[in-house]
A = this chain, B = another copy of it.
Amino acid sequence: MLHSLPSLGSFADPAALAIVGGGTLLALVLRTPGRDLFRGFAALGVLWRKPFQADALLTQIDALSRISARHGVVRLDRTVIADPDIAAAVGRIVDGAGGEEISALLDQRRVARAERHRAAIDLWSAAAEIFPAMGMVGTLIGLVRMFAGMTDPATIGGSMAVAVLATLYGALAANLIAMPIAARLKRLARAELIERARLVQPLAALAERERPRVRRDAA
């Protein structure tokens, strides 16, 4: 089979590509609000990142805890806190929030983050289902064209080859693009959800310890 493969050119067809790619994009745009569409494509940037690990953040919380024990929580330099969840929590601790309030804040932020991840995962899961459907659409359009113009039997072979290409593109795009992206995003989202749960306890403990001092200072 290999030695008699036709040139790769016979596997490239712009019309089939336009139908499969454009049709899938159209279906996604129709079903997804603009903001979630943007999120789904922006998520491609984090695709090859390592899964989120809470360890470095836990070390930082430890350091913050030692500093605030010595100098008071108001002295914390919040500009060095890169993580938005920890920054938000420390901000509230400075305002005198207790442990329960901090737990609630972090849980709420985790739920909102999971919801944002879900939007990106949904986009690519939907793409994995739509790509093959649009591949079939391309093939059907090719078939209609072929049957409608079936005057010269000699051209049937070439037309069929083009029609079949659309299904091929759909299957490849689903299995090699959309499904891998959806699977990776799902894994990253899951890991971040589990890891971020580890931040709740130490931040809540810090809040509990600092609260009386913050209140006293404020008084």
Contacts and interface: CB of A to CB of B under 8 A. Distances in A.
Interface in A25-84: 26-27, 30-33, 36, 51
A6 B149 contact: yes
A130 to B, nearest CB: 6
B147 A160 contact: yes
A172 B22 CA distance: 13
Contacts of A6: 144-145, 148-149
Contacts of A179: 27, 31, 126, 130
Interface stretch (A98-106, A161-169, A200-208): A161-169
A19 to B, nearest CB: 9
Contact of A161 (B16, B23, B148, B176): B148
Nearest to A144: B161
Given A137-B168, A140-B164, A183 B26 contact: no
- Interface of A, secondary structure class, is helix
A33 B14 contact: no
Interface string A1-28: 1101110001101111010000100110
A137 B145 CA distance: 21
Interface residues of A, number: 57
A141 interface: yes
A150 interface: yes
Given A140-B167, A164-B144, A1 B14 contact: yes
B180 A148 contact: no
A23 B173 CA distance: 12
Given A32-B183, A180-B27, A136 B1 contact: no
| 10 A-B pairs with least C-beta separation | A1-B15, A150-B157, A31-B180, A147-B161, A30-B180, A31-B183, A140-B168, A147-B160, A147-B157, A148-B161
